[in-house]
């Protein structure tokens, strides 16, 4: 424990008792609170069950959200919306901004129009065959339209959503109900334990310096005592991760597979032919492992972006630059040229799916949403699944409340986990469990593995154990072997690091990727995207949430992968060497640095040298 942490631990703290404390407001928590709120009151306005902390009142339920607004979500979403429609059977998409039914889906395989993409021999042969036969194929603008979309991928009759706008819509209804409360700008630093039992949460200290030491206006974070703590703080949330550290993961499960999702929301150019409800899925470019999406909303607005996975073995993987090359692919640029940036964002996605499931319940706590392993890595969907986990927990909680049973591990297993095991989330998660394993051994094997898992309902797949970045990401010298000499790379490294810069632009330039030409509207610098479309809010008085725990590991690190992948250029190379520099005014809270660390913690092979702690602020754009 650091001196700052010791000082904070020794102070007296105010304490508040509630019945249920919730951490993180996203789709899973929206499903939980919506379902719970409907069951807390009788039709005549009397409590269906009474609060243990305020007798005569309904249970006191408070949700604490890190971001300064409940519409913080960073995602364009296409979803089958099964769980959403179960909760809102009369749902009218027109009531939700930037929401529209799916009307058309296309799957495009993008060929490389530049000649710089790192494509294995089998992919190059396939590209050559497509070009040779393009006269007989649905081929244009260096892209092949796949004639069918596998049933496990299609979102027919689904919805397009802006997660930020959807969160606001749900949150406004919840607050209007008067039965639950959502508190934004309230980061939770850690769970409160009594032995192995979770008894509540601790809010982050305020009035501290960047290291967490008390400063002017110091106000210790309040302890919130609760009979049940519901954790929906996502895959990089400090509460969920602390519980994992405390009680471990179920045997055989791991969380090695991740992706960075980065996107823009744009005003499409006047005359764009894409209609609202159109969904484009892409694969093949800028690198075979990178998947893309374009969703068209009402009002000539679209969301477009890419996913860069952990099994893309590139030590200089700049998601932002790859996204700009993807946007300018001829098959997309014909729709996007002349578009104007409205907002920009990034987040990380836990892509271990069902295999990344932690312990879902324990004495005093339950977990829902993406951090609970609900994302379906075969169908590329997570919002509807997360919402469903929340509704399942709410049904179980209401059952326990009405039966007067405590929130023990045994009771939560029976009321919540059993429901989840019988749900379609579990069934489809089992089908997808091994769908991505093949990518551990290459793009072609990965695509075959996904197809096998999808078409055989999970009975067949191609194996491959997930590995952490420190185990699999090669050195730059290994990655560029045969194209750049070690001497040339070392010269580039010294030049870049002396300026406090990363290497990705210099390496990509030398490997044949053309320089990005800005148009001042959509194709803008990374920092302009942050300023124009990210709107980061980093409130003063909080400790830095990105912490380099083991400086000696940073001294020894040769890849500086944390800086190379940083979604907002908040982490930069220190010109003096050693620990990288962190500027939280640019951090979008994606967490890519944490899981991309090229070092391994001396305390656990499942952790790197970076901790992602509680912190306020982040992206502030409800269009995301």
**DSSP secondary structure string for all residues of 494-557:** HHHHHTT--SHHHHHHHTTPPPP---SSSS--HHHHIIIII--B--TTS--SEEE--HHHHHH-
- Return the higher-pLDDT residue of 282 and 178: 282
For 207-251, the pLDDT digits (tens) are 999 999 999 899 999 999 999 999 999 989 999 999 999 999 999
pLDDT range class, residue 394, cuts 50, 70, 90: very high
Nearest partner of 589 among 29, 66, 28, 5, judged by Cα:
66
Residue in this structure with the two tokens 């089908």, named with its chain if needed: 431
Q: What is the pLDDT, as a whole number, of residue 386?
A: 97
Residues contacting 92, CB < 8 A, separation 6+: none
Phi, psi of 541 (to 5 degrees): 90, 0
For 110-121, the pLDDT digits (tens) are 999 999 999 999
Phi, psi of 330 (to 5 degrees): -50, -35
pLDDT range class, residue 621, cuts 50, 70, 90: low
The single-letter DSSP state of residue 167 is H
For 485-530, the pLDDT digits (tens) are 999 999 999 998 888 889 999 999 999 999 999 999 999 999 999 8
pLDDT range class, residue 8, cuts 50, 70, 90: low
For 251-274, the pLDDT digits (tens) are 989 888 899 999 999 999 999 999
The count of other CB atoms within 10 Å of the CB of residue 196 is: 12
Q: What is the pLDDT, as a whole number, of residue 3?
A: 41
Exposure b/e, 560-586, CB count within 10 A at least 16 = b: bbbbbbbbbbbbbbbeeeebbebbbeb
CATH number of the 100-158+255-353 domain: 3.30.9.90
Taking 90 as the threshold, does the pLDDT of residue 576 lie above it?
Answer: no
Bridge partner list, 341: 266
Taking 50 as the threshold, does the pLDDT of residue 4 lie above it?
Answer: no
Taking 60 as the threshold, does the pLDDT of residue 290 lie above it?
Answer: yes
Q: What is the pLDDT, as a whole number, of residue 395?
A: 98
Q: What is the pLDDT, as a whole number, of residue 232?
A: 97
For 421-479, the pLDDT digits (tens) are 999 999 999 999 998 888 888 889 989 999 999 999 988 888 777 777 778 888 899 99
For 55-74, the pLDDT digits (tens) are 999 999 999 998 887 766 66
Domain boundaries, the chain: 3-87+163-253+356-432, 100-158+255-353, 437-466, 471-612
Q: What is the pLDDT, as a whole number, of residue 145?
A: 97
Q: Is the CB of residue 470 less than 8 Å from the CB of residue 598?
A: yes
Its pTM stands at 0.95
Nearest partner of 350 among 457, 473, 466, 191, judged by Cα:
466
Q: What is the pLDDT, as a whole number, of residue 358?
A: 96
What kind of architecture, by CATH, is found in domain 3-87+163-253+356-432? 3-Layer(bba) Sandwich (3.50)
């Amino acid at each position: 424990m650091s001196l700052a942490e010791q000082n904070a631990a020794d102070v007296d703290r105010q304490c508040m008792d509630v019945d249920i404390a919730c951490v993180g407001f996203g789709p899973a928590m929206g499903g939980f609170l919506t379902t719970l709120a409907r069951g807390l009151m009788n039709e005549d306005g009397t409590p269906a069950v009474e609060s243990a902390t305020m007798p005569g009142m309904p249970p006191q339920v408070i949700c604490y959200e890190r971001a300064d607004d409940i519409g913080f979500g960073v995602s364009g979403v296409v979803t089958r919306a099964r769980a959403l429609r179960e909760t809102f059977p009369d749902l009218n998409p027109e009531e939700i901004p930037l929401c529209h039914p799916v009307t058309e889906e296309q799957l495009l395989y993008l060929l490389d129009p530049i000649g710089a993409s790192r494509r294995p021999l089998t992919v190059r042969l396939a590209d050559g065959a497509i070009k040779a036969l393009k006269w007989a194929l649905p081929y244009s603008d260096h892209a092949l339209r796949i004639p069918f979309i596998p049933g496990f991928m299609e979102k027919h009759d689904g919805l397009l959503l802006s997660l930020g706008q959807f969160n606001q819509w749900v949150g406004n209804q919840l607050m209007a109900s008067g039965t639950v409360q959502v508190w934004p700008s309230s980061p939770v630093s850690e769970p409160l334990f009594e032995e192995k039992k979770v008894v509540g949460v601790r809010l982050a200290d305020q009035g501290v310096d960047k290291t967490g030491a008390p400063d002017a206006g110091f106000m210790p974070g309040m302890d919130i005592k609760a009979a049940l703590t519901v954790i929906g703080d996502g895959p990089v949330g400090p509460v969920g991760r602390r519980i994992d550290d405390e009680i471990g993961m179920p045997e055989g499960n791991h969380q090695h597979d991740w992706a960075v999702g980065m996107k823009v929301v744009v005003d499409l150019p006047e005359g764009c032919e894409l209609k609202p409800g159109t969904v484009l899925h892409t694969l093949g470019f800028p690198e075979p492992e990178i998947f893309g999406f374009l969703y068209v909303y009402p009002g000539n607005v679209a969301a477009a972006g890419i996913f860069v996975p952990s099994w893309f073995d590139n030590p200089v993987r700049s998601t932002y630059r790859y996204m700009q090359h993807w946007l300018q692919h001829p098959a997309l640029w014909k729709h996007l040229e002349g578009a104007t940036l409205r907002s920009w964002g990034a987040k990380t996605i836990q892509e271990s799916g069902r295999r990344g499931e932690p312990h879902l319940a324990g004495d005093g706590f339950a977990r829902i949403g993406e951090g609970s392993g609900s994302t379906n890595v075969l169908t590329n969907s997570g919002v509807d699944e997360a919402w469903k986990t929340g509704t399942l927990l709410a049904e179980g909680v209401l059952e326990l409340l009405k039966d007067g049973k405590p929130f023990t591990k045994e009771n939560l297993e029976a009321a919540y986990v059993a429901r989840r095991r019988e749900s379609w989330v579990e069934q489809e998660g089992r089908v997808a469990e091994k769908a991505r394993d093949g990518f551990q051994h290459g793009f072609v094997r990965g695509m075959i593995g996904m197809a096998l898992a999808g078409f055989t309902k999970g009975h067949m797949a191609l194996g491959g154990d997930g590995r952490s970045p420190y185990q699999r990401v090669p050195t730059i010298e290994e990655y560029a072997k045969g194209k750049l000499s070690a001497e040339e790379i070392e010269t580039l490294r010294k030049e870049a690091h002396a300026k406090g810069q990363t290497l990705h632009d210099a390496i990509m330039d030398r490997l044949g990727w053309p320089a990005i030409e800005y148009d001042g509207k959509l194709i803008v610098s990374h920092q302009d995207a942050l300023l124009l479309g990210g709107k980061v809010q980093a409130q003063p008085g909080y400790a830095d949430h990105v912490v380099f725990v083991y400086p000696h590991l940073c001294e020894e690190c040769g890849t500086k992968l944390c800086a190379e992948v940083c979604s907002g250029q908040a982490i930069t190379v220190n010109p003096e060497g050693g620990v990288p520099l962190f500027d939280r005014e640019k951090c979008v809270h994606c967490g890519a640095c944490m899981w991309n660390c090229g070092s391994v913690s001396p305390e656990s092979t499942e952790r790197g040298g970076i901790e992602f702690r509680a912190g306020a602020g982040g992206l502030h754009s409800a269009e995301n």
